[in-house]
Structure 1
Amino acid sequence: MSEDDRTRAMRSPGDGRPLPQRPADGLRSGGAPAHRMPGGGPGAPTHQLPNAAPQGPPESGPKPGGSRVYGRERSGSSPIKPLRSRREPSESGPPSPRGPGRRISGRTVLKIVAGVLVVLLVTVVGLFFWVNSRLAGIDGVLADYEGRPADTPGTNWLLVGSDSRKGLTAAQRKKLATGQAAGQRTDSMMLLHIPEGSDKPTLVSLPRDSAVTIPGKGRDKLNSAYALGGPKLLVRTVESVTGVYVDHYMEIGFAGFVDIVDAVGGVEINVRQAVDDPKAGLKLKKGTQVLSGSQALGYVRTRKGGALPDFERTKRQRQFLSAVVKKAASPGVLINPFTAIPLASSATAAVEVDSGTGAFDMLSLGLAMGDSPVTTVVPFGGNEAVPSGGTAVKWDRMKALALFDALKNDKPVPKDVIDAG
C-alpha cells in the first residue's frame, strides 16, 4: 500500500467510505483558498497550495488570544474594526467641509453682512453724487431783494408745474393733447411747508387764476407773473402776497411729468368720478386704478367735473403729487436698481431747481411728501376783474391770512381754514 493509500485509510470512517470534501472555493480555517481540479464536482479531490496546513475537521470556538475578523478568528493579531461606508457620517469630529451638513460660522455671516453693507453704502453715495451733478440749477431764482420777508422756521418749497412743451415731438404733443401753445406758463403752483417739529407737512395749492399784485406789474392773475418775469418774478410774487419765505424752488414740464410717472410704473389713483375730456386726451372710469404717464398728465390738467372746475383741479393735482412722490420714495422703488436708476435719471432730467438745491434737499422733499401731508387750497370767494382782461379769483382775506400766518410761525393750520380749502 502506498503512502497516499495509507493516509486516506487513516482518515476514512470504518466502513471505508471517503470523507466528504469541503468546497474548493471556500476559505479553510487558518489556511489559503483551495483549488479545484478542472471538471471536478462535489467529492472531487482538491489540491492545496504549497505549505498549506493539512485538511481536518473545522475547528470550533475561539483560539486563546485570537481576535475576530468579520466573524472569523484571527490569532495573534490586534482587534480590527469593521470598515465604514464612505457616506456614513463619523461618530466624532466636525462634518466634512464639502458635505451637505456644512455649517457657516458666525464670523463668516458677519463678513458677508459687512460686505453687503459696504456695497450698498458705496452705491448710495455714488448715486447721491451722480444725482447731484445732474440737477439743473437756475441761478438767481431766490435772490434777495428789498422788502423780502425774513427767513421763517421750517422749510418752504414752491413747487411749479409749467405747461412747457419742451422735449415733446409733434406726435407726442398730439398724443398728450397738449396743443401747440407757444411760450411757457405755470399750470399749477403749490407751497409745501415742512415743519421743524413733529407736525405733519402742509401742502397748499395756489390757484393759478388768483388775483394778486405782481411787483412792478400791477394787479393780475398769479400765473401771469411767470409769463412776465420767469421763476424769479414768480417767487417774489408768492413771497409778497403770502409773507412766507421760500427756501427752495422746483419746476417740472409736461414731458418730465410723463417720464417720471412711467419710470415708477404708473401711479394708483382713486378717480372719484368718471372723466371724459377730449381736450385733455383723457377718458377714465370711476374707481381706483393705475394711471400711466399720459393719463396722469390729463388727470391733473382737465377742468371737467365739479361745480368749481378750478377748485377740483387743484384737489386732483395735490392728490396726484402726493401719490407719485410717495411711490417714488417707497422701498420697493428705491432699493430696486431697475426702477431707482431710471427714476433718478428721469427726475433729474425733468426738473429744474434753484442753484442752491441739491440731492439731499430733494430727498428731504420726497420724505415729506411721503409723510401724508395736510393738503388744502387758499380759501377764496368771488371774482375780480383784472386789467389784462377777464376775471380772476379773489382770496378770502381773513382765512388766507390765518393760513399763511400758521405757516410763517411753524404752527398747524387751523381746521376751519383747511375745511374751507
Structure 2
Amino acid sequence: MRGDRGSLRLSGALGLTLAAALVWGLAHLLAGRRAAGAALLAAQVLLVVGLTAAATALRPEVLALVARPGRLAGLAVAAVLLGLAWATVIVSSYRLVRPPGLGGPGRSLGRAAVGVMCAAALLPTLYAARLAYVGRDVVTTVFATRGAASADPWQGRYRVNVLLLGADAAARRPGARTDSMSVAAIDTRTGRTVLFSLPRNLQHVPMPAGPARRMFPGGFAGDGTLNHPGLLNEVYQWAEDHPEAAPGVPAGRRGPELLKRTIGGILGLPIDYYAMVDMKGFARIIDATGGVRVTVKNDIPYGLAGGVLRAGTRRLSGAEALWFGRSRSDGDDYVRMGRQRCLLDAVARQADPFTVIRSFGRLADAAKRYISTDIPQESLPAFITLSRKIKDAPLESVQFVPPLIDTAAPDWALIREKVSEAAGVPLPASTRTRRGVPGDPAASGSRASATPSAISPQTEQTSPNASCN
C-alpha cells in the first residue's frame, strides 16, 4: 500500500510539475512561495505577450531589426538563455512538490520524467537559436557590409531599381549567361512595382560610357564569332573575362557592374542593386519548399527521355520547374520569358512562413551557394519593410519583345518611352532630343528615381493565380 501511495504522490507531483512548466510559478504558489510564483507568472505573461506581438502586429518591424548579423547573434543567445530559464523553472518546481522520502526507483523515475520535460522545453529554443545562427551566416555570406546604416536608406528617392538575373551555365560552355534579365522598379512609398523584362537575344546593345563603349562604339559585338555573336546575355561573362572593360573592379563584380550600367542605359533608369540566382540554385530552392504549384496550359516535352509535363494545375519539383522555365519546344524565347516570369511570381507568392521555417536550413544553403547580390546588409531592414508593401501592391509587367521590339535592330528610344510611360518617370534628355543611342544612365537617370510613380495603362497586371505557359 505504501508503494501505491508513493506512486500516486509521485504521479501527482509530476503532473503538477508539468502544469508548472506550462504556467510558470504555479508550483511555487501552491507551495506557499507567493512572491517567487507571482514573479515567474508575470515574467511568462510578459514573454508571451511580447512574442505574440512580435509574430503578429510588430512582425515587419521585428524582421527588419533581426536582419542584422549582430541582432541575429543576440537572438540566438537569447533563445538559449530562454531554454535554460524554462528548464530551471521545471527543475525548481519539481523540487518544491516532489514527495519526501522517495526510494531509489521513484527518485530515478522522477528525475527521468523531469529530464524529458526539460528536453521538451530546450529543443524548440535551441532550434530557434540555430535558425538565428544560420540566418546570420546567410546575411554575412550573401550580403556585403558598407558601414553604418543610413537613417534614410533610399536617400530621399521615391524609387529603387533592382536588376534581377537568372544565370545559366552549360557543361560544354565556359562561364555563365544571364538568360533571364528583369528590372524591378519599386515605388518606396507604396510598393507598386513594374517589372521590365529584356530578352536575352538583344543585339547591338549600346555600352555605357567608358572603356566598354570605346571598345564597342557601334554596340556590343562580343567576341565576333558564331558562338558569341554579341547578345545581351553575354555581357556579364564578357566583362568577367575582360578586366579592361571595368578597370579597378574585382573579379566577380565586373559582370554585374557592367550589366547594371548597360541595362540602365537601355531603360533610362539607374540600377541601384542587382540580385542573381544560378538556375541550379533555383531548382534547389523549389525542392526545399516542397515544389511550386502552377497551371500548365499545354503539354510540354520534359527531359531527353521522352517525358512530358502534362497540361493542368500541378505541383512541379525543382527539376520539372527548371525544365518548364527553360523549354523552348512549345514556342520561342518570348514564350519562355513569360513562363519564367509566371514561375518566379508563383514561387514568391506560395512561400508561406511555416514552409520557410521548416525548410530554412536547405534554403539557407542554396542561398549561400547560388545567390549573389550587392544589396548591403545595412539596407536589409528597409527592404524587409518594403517587401510588405510590395506584397500588397499590384505587380505590373512590361516585356520588350517582338512585335514591340525587333531584337536584331532594337529601337532604344522606344524602349525608354515605354519605361517612362509605365513607371511614371520623365524621359532622359537624350531620348527627348533624338531617337538614338542611350547614354550612361549615371547622369540622365538619377533624377528619374526621385520622381513619384504614376500608374500607366500600358502595363500588364499579374494575377496571383495566373496560368503559366
TM over 0.5: yes
Q: Please say which of residues 201-210 and 116-125 is displaced more in the overlay.
A: 116-125
The C-alpha deviation readout for 1:184-216, integer Å capped at 9, x for no partner, is: 211101111232223433322222223431221
RMSD across aligned C-alpha pairs, in angstroms?
4.2
- For the Cα contact (< 8 Å) 2:191–2:393, is it kept in 1? no
1:259 Cα offset (Å): 1.6
Amino acid at match of 1:135: V
1:100 Cα offset (Å): 8.0
1:314 Cα offset (Å): 1.8
Identity %: 28
Q: Which has the higher helix share?
A: 2
For 1:126, which of 125, 129, 133 is the aligned residue?
133
Q: Which runs of 5+ in 2 are unaligned?
A: 6-11, 27-40, 52-77, 80-124, 147-154, 221-230, 240-254, 426-447, 463-469
Equivalent residue for 1:331?
A: 353
For 1:322, which of 332, 339, 345 is the aligned residue?
345
Report the Cα distance in structure 2 between the residues aligned to 1:283 and 1:358, rounded to whole angstroms: 45
1:126 Cα offset (Å): 3.1
Equivalent residue for 1:76?
A: none
Equivalent residue for 2:360?
A: 340
- For the Cα contact (< 8 Å) 2:192–2:395, is it kept in 1? yes
Report the Cα distance in structure 1 between the residues aligned to 2:43 and 2:323, rounded to whole angstroms: 51
Report the Cα distance in structure 1 between the residues aligned to 2:454 and 2:376, rounded to whole angstroms: 27
- For the Cα contact (< 8 Å) 1:264–1:327, is it kept in 2? no
Classify 1:103/1:137 alpha carbon distance in 2 versus 1 (closer, same or farther; 3 Å). closer
- For the Cα contact (< 8 Å) 2:405–2:411, is it kept in 1? yes
Q: Which has the higher strand share?
A: 1
Equivalent residue for 2:166?
A: 161
Amino acid at match of 2:398: V
Equivalent residue for 2:237?
A: 227
Classify 1:286/1:131 alpha carbon distance in 2 versus 1 (closer, same or farther; 3 Å). same
SS at match of 1:244: coil
Equivalent residue for 2:369?
A: 349
- For the Cα contact (< 8 Å) 2:190–2:393, is it kept in 1? no
Aligned residues: 298
- Max Rg structure: 1
Equivalent residue for 2:459?
A: 417
Q: Which has the higher contact order (CA 8 A, sep 6+)?
A: 2
- For the Cα contact (< 8 Å) 1:200–1:372, is it kept in 2? yes
Q: Could you state the TM-score of these two structures normalised by the residue count of structure 1?
A: 0.58
- 1:47-196 pair list within 5 angstroms: 111-112=43-44, 114=47, 117=51, 119=79, 125-135=132-142, 152-165=157-170, 180-196=172-188
Report the Cα distance in structure 1 between the residues aligned to 2:385 and 2:305, rounded to whole angstroms: 32
- For the Cα contact (< 8 Å) 1:382–1:394, is it kept in 2? no
1:106 Cα offset (Å): 7.5
Establish whether residue 375 from structure 1 lines up as the match of residue 367 from structure 2: no
1:285 Cα offset (Å): 0.9
Amino acid at match of 2:133: G
Amino acid at match of 2:372: E
Report the Cα distance in structure 1 between the residues aligned to 2:191 and 2:375, rounded to whole angstroms: 28
The C-alpha deviation readout for 1:238-289, integer Å capped at 9, x for no partner, is: 1112222222211122321222111112111111222125579872111111
Amino acid at match of 2:207: I
Q: Could you state the TM-score of these two structures normalised by the residue count of structure 2?
A: 0.53
- For the Cα contact (< 8 Å) 1:156–1:245, is it kept in 2? yes
Classify 1:311/1:377 alpha carbon distance in 2 versus 1 (closer, same or farther; 3 Å). farther
Report the Cα distance in structure 2 between the residues aligned to 1:138 and 1:241, rounded to whole angstroms: 29
SS at match of 2:206: strand
Equivalent residue for 1:201?
A: 193
Classify 1:228/1:190 alpha carbon distance in 2 versus 1 (closer, same or farther; 3 Å). same
Amino acid at match of 1:401: S
Classify 1:263/1:374 alpha carbon distance in 2 versus 1 (closer, same or farther; 3 Å). same
Q: Which runs of 5+ in 1 are unaligned?
A: 1-85, 87-95, 140-149, 166-178
- For the Cα contact (< 8 Å) 2:274–2:375, is it kept in 1? no
